[in-house]
Amino acid sequence: MSAVAVVLGVAFVAGSFIFTDTLGKSFDSIMTNSVGDVVVRYKSAGDMENFGTSTETLPGSLVKQLASIPGAARADGNVTDIGTFVVSKKGKLIGGQGAPGMGVNYTGGPAANGNAGYELGSGEWPKQDNEIVLDERSAKTGGYVIGDPVDVVTAGAQARVEPKPKLVGLLEPGGSLVGASVVVWTTHQAQALYLGGKDVYNDIWVTRADGTSQDELRAEAAKLLPADVEAVAGDTAAEEASSQIQKSLSFITNFLLIFAAVALIVGSFIIVNTFSILVAQRMKELALFRAIGASRKQVGRSVLVEAFVVGLIGSTLGLAVGALLAMAIRALFGMVGLDLSGAGLVFAPRTILASYLVGMVVTLLAAYLPARRAGKVPPIAAMRDDVTLTETSMHRRVIVGAVLAALGAVGLGLGLFADVAKPLWWIGAGILGVLLGVALTSPLVGRPAIRGLGLIYRRLFGTVGTMAEENALRNPRRTAATASALMIGVTLVSMMAVFGASAKASIAGELEETFKADYLVSNAIGQDFSPSVGDQIAKTPGVATVSRVRWGSGSVDGKDAWLAAIDPATYGQVQVTEMTSGSLADLRRDTLFLSTDEASKRGLTVGEKATVTLGGKDRQMTVAGIFKAGAGTPSSTLVSLDTWTAAGMPAKDAQVFVNRADGADATALTAAIEKLTADLPTVSLKDMQSYADEQSASINQLLYMIYALLGLAVVIAILGIINTLALSVIERTREIGLLRAVGLSRPQLRRMLRLESVVIAILGAALGVGLGLVFGVAIQRALVDEGFTTLRIPWLQLVLFVVLAGIVGVLAALWPGRRAAKLQILDAIHSE
């Protein structure tokens, strides 16, 4: 069981690294095949944050000029869109959750260093408008074969491509597309769909002739370009893009490693418990070693060598199980759009080194204290029949635990009530301190809880219940360590349950106060959609107001920012915005609004100037208003739609709010708008309640993912309960034989062990639910200014956690109980 704890903990570490390395390699492959020998682009396009969000284009005449420079074999203009999706024959959208839907033009130009880029697997490339090529995965998922008309929706001027284009070929991409779908058009049709039919391109690839290097070709291309356009060597462009993506992926790695750390901490409790019990069982054997000349260091070292072997085997198996776990994580992330099913797993040397290092170090550190105790066994103990090692006083342990808990409480207090930088970091450190403190003091803290359960046990189960209570109290350290392992997992699960319930209640309450629109039209997958949808709704009889919201990335004073564009003339009719300074009328082409937190973070006040970068262009804008952000606020930085358009940002809507005209029939208007959006699976119509439900569903999805990742720590804790009971049965073999000899039946023996197991499980769950409740409230209070204003405690869910823990306790005792019941009475009495 100890080895299993190591295996599972190491597996989480290995699986996290394998998954993120696989994801990174897939993106590297995409980037390598997504650049030419030299890429000519606007400088702002080099930032992945701006990918697909700018309308800056290069003229077709530049393509011809670049094709004729010295060292160039050819030049090709590229059109790229990230809001194009395929709809299956069943009317279901393909992709969109996370990974983009790309629309590109066919040029026939090679990628950098002669790479083929997208290869044609079957069929032919589009030769005329209304012919397309799809990636194989999208075609298969959509049920399309070559020759079929394909349903395609875009975020461009044409929401649904009519007539439906004919599928003439299938791509065979060189590596995983990470869930992205690809639609390849003719250049003419791509320009018509995405660039207003103009002879312009998003970027240009220049292919080098034999004997010319990328750097030489880049230098020649740069001579033709204006100041805001750059020529970048293909290898450099690929490296830059990969570096930016890897930086973004580090969040996923850190996210997964947090749960790996939790699993390892829980596993360390099991290892400490196991070796403590083993040392206690082998006391006479260890004393005999001392009696024949073994030193304290040799005895202690023998325990550490055993731990070394356990750690070595556990780490090796953990690495293998990590590959399976990486597949499970891959499937989990595939549910939210990151599809890596076509990518092979990557085993980097770092993964192997980290797996063995973590497994060995955790095991040896956990076994150190039991090994030290083993070395203290006196040689004279070998002469005794009943050898035990006196338990040291718990005073020191309780004092250290109390200090840690107190420091943790201080950290929580500072994060909640003091004006400190990064309050969530203080709260996180405080949570860790309190958790460790309670784990150390749990032998003392848990005693009243065990006594309380003992009262119930004595009334319901009589003598068997009394024995179960006394057995749980016999070794408080062992009971507490086993319960603490479960406590950690339940604490985190309970904390997230409280926070999730509060977040959903806060969003619902905030929307009820601020949502003034009758309808909201938004993209069901979080992507932008065609402005033609809003145009058609505005023309519908019975519609009084249509207010659009658009958003994208940019920067304010050189720092990254997510900006939203609104129409100040209509936005106040559909959303309540609490202004602390200024009014919506102050939002013009040369002004911007900041939330209170954003203004404080950036050190800006009303009237001050800020450099805002949109579409790769800098402009001086004045802060004209400060507002209080809420659940319905699209961003902490707002600009006007006029500013958005003037900056050359895409004319794609993220949200469209709609108000009915006075006297308009609500049922008829709803039916009319639904008819407009019925053929667009990327767009959904909702009222305030359904919008709140949609936001709650997103939170639930995140919570389920976190619960699944925390589930491994809970499984390890359950194995710890089984482990402790099984070792206790071995340790108490003679005692069990005597009890059976004086009349204890096998069912009563199994019941006694079940009750012991339930005590441990409920103790861990009760402590975990209590701490999780406190921590969940702390996090909610810390985020009040971020819009989480409502505290909601899911009492039924928390009680369910305790009940489930009791059931787990019953199940955990099945195998140890069956093993104990099979012991022969005489053999057990004569055992040592």
- For helices 814-821 and 795-812, give the axis angle rounded to 10 degrees: 30
pLDDT band at 535 (very low <50, low <70, confident <90, very high): very high
Q: Measure the CA–CA gap between 416 and 771, rounded to whole angstroms.
A: 16
pLDDT of residue 223: 92
Q: Where are the beta strands (DSSP E) in 173-260?
A: 181-185, 200-201, 203-208, 229-233
> Region 544-567: what's the mean pLDDT?
90
Unique residue bearing structure tokens 């219940």: 465
pLDDT of residue 108: 85
- Distance set, CA 597 to CA 582, 583, 622, 636 (Å): 16, 18, 17, 8
pLDDT of residue 51: 54
Q: What is the pLDDT of residues 141-158, one digit of tens each?
A: 899 999 999 999 988 778
pLDDT(716) > 60: yes
Q: Which helix (H) or strand (E) holds 587?
A: none
Question: How many CA atoms lie less than 13 Å away from 656 in the CB half-sphere?
Answer: 29
Unique residue bearing structure tokens 């949609």: 694
Largest Cα–Cα distance in the chain? 102
- Amino acid identity for residue 124 in this structure: E
**Of residues 819, 725, 718, 817, the one with CA closest to residue 764:** 718
**Of residues 246, 293, 242, 97, the one with CA closest to residue 181:** 97
Please give the mean pLDDT across all residues of the chain.
84
Identify whether the C-beta of residue 182 lies closer than 8 Å to the C-beta of residue 104: yes
Angle (CA) 350 352 355, round 5°: 105
Other CB atoms within 10 Å distance of the CB of residue 287 = 21
Identify whether the C-beta of residue 220 lies closer than 8 Å to the C-beta of residue 2: no
> Region 39-60: what's the mean pLDDT?
72
Identify whether the C-beta of residue 567 lies closer than 8 Å to the C-beta of residue 534: no
pLDDT band at 413 (very low <50, low <70, confident <90, very high): confident
> Region 52-72: what's the mean pLDDT?
85
Q: Which H, E and C letters describe 488-542, residue by residue?
A: HHHHHHHHHHHHHHHHHHHHHHHHHHHECCCEEEEECCCCCECHHHHHHHHCCCC
- Distance set, CA 139 to CA 110, 323, 798 (Å): 24, 29, 45
CA-based end-to-end distance of the chain: 23
pLDDT of residue 565: 94
DSSP output for 30-65: HHHTT--SEEEEEGGGGSGGGTTT----EEHHHHHH
Highest mean pLDDT: which range of 57-61, 241-245, 372-376, 677-681: 57-61
DSSP output for 407-457: HHHHHHHHHHHS--SSHHHHHHHHHHHHHHHHHHHHHHHHHHHHHHHHHHH
pLDDT(337) > 70: no
pLDDT of residue 50: 52
**Of residues 196, 186, 226, 211, the one with CA closest to residue 65:** 226
Q: How is residue 577 annotated by DSSP?
A: -
pLDDT of residue 33: 67
pLDDT(27) > 80: no
Q: How far is CA 497 from the centre of its chain?
A: 16
The percentage of the chain sitting over the pLDDT mark of 70, rounded to a whole number, equals 91
